[in-house]
Amino acid sequence: MSSAGGATATLLGVVTGAVLSTRAQRRHWARDRQVEACQAIIAESTKCQLALRRKWRHGEAVDWTAWNEALALMWLVGSRKVIRAAYRMDEVFWLQRARIDRGEITDEASWEQARDEMESTRLRFINATRNDVLQKRGALTEKPVARPPLPSPRHQPTEAVS
C-alpha cells in the first residue's frame, strides 16, 4: 500500500510540475510577444513621424503598411492599457496627417507643435509599456528624442574677422 501511495504521489507531483511549467512557459511567451509588439510600435512610430515630415516638406506619400502591421500585432497580444496608448498614438498621427493635407502645418513652428504632440503620445505609450508589460515603476518625463535648444535669433554666431 505504501509503495502504491508513493508512486501516486510521485505521479501527481510530475503532473503538477508539468502543468505549472507549461503555464510559466505560456506567460513567458506572451510577455515576449508583448515586448516585440511594443518594440515594433516604437520603431514604426518613429518612421511614421519622419514620413509625415517628408510629406509636409516634400509632398511624399506616407506608406502606413508597416505601422498598421505593428498595430495589428499590438491588438493581438497587447494589454488594454498598452492598446489604448497605441490607439491614441495612431489617432494623433492621423490628425497630424489631416493637418498637413489641409495646409495647416505651414512652417517650422507649426511642425514643431505637431512633432511635440506625436512625441508626447509616444512617451505615454512608452510609459504604458514600461508599467504594464515590463513592470517598471516610475514614469519617464523626457521625450524619447533629445533635441538641443534652437539658437535665439539675437544670439547668432558671428564670424571671426581675420
User: For 31-60, what is each residue's pLDDT tens digit?
Assistant: 899 999 999 999 999 999 999 999 999 999
Asked if pLDDT for residue 16 goes beyond 80, the answer is no
Task: Encode pLDDT of 112-158 as tens digits.
Answer: 999 999 999 999 999 999 999 988 888 888 776 656 555 555 544 44
Dig out the grid coordinates for 119 from the structure: 512625441
Residue 37, burial from CB neighbour count under 10 angstroms (0-12, 13-18, 19+): buried
pLDDT above 70 coverage of the chain, percent: 79
Residue count of the chain: 162
Give me the residue spans of the domains in the chain: 15-136
Mean pLDDT of the chain: 85
Verdict on whether the full-model pTM lies above 0.85: no
Residue 29 is predicted with a pLDDT of 78
